Amino acid sequence: MAALCCLQARQWCTVARWHFEEGNRNLGFWTNVEDWCEFEFTVDLPGTFNVLLDQACAQGQGGSTAALSLGNQRLIATVRDTGGWNRFEIVEAGRLKIQKAGTHRLSLKPIKLMEGVLMDLRTVTLKPVK
């Protein structure tokens, strides 16, 4: 299982930024649909992986969408209303197939911001499907 920490992601942002309040280290203040991030990671064994987002979103502000892209594969994740910016939950975004071992890049780009905000994102985890 590969946990991709937001603090290790490359970001291309004008508004979204690292957030360290109340013990929660995450990429937050994501209010610009043009802001995005990319994770570089290494896979030792190819296979199919569940993509899990550790995300938070204030009550009434869920429903935003984001694309997770790996090569020519694309998942659309819908942000869940978790009841608060400090209430993180694991949300399954779908499955990606990685054909070969080695270094890969996974990008996360907003598609639509509901209520003007995407989410607070703590980690993205790739969990092998058994």
| pLDDT tens-digit series, residues 45-59 | 999 999 999 999 999
The residue among 23, 30, 22 whose CA lies nearest residue 53 is 30
DSSP state, residue 113: -
Give the confidence band of 7 by pLDDT, cuts at 50, 70, 90.
very low
CATH number for the domain harbouring residue 39: 2.60.120.260
Structure tokens given for 27:
């990429």
SS3 98: strand
| pLDDT tens-digit series, residues 50-105 | 999 999 999 999 999 999 999 999 999 999 999 999 899 999 999 999 999 999 99
| Owning domain of residue 68 | 2-128
SS (H, E, C) 10-70: EEECCCCEEECHHHCCEEECCCCCCCEEEEEEEECCCEEEEEEEEEEECCCCCCCEEEEEE
Residues in CB range of 130: below 8 A, 6 or more apart = none
Q: Is the pLDDT of residue 26 over 90?
A: no
Q: Is the pLDDT of residue 117 over 80?
A: yes
Q: How many domains does the chain have?
A: 1
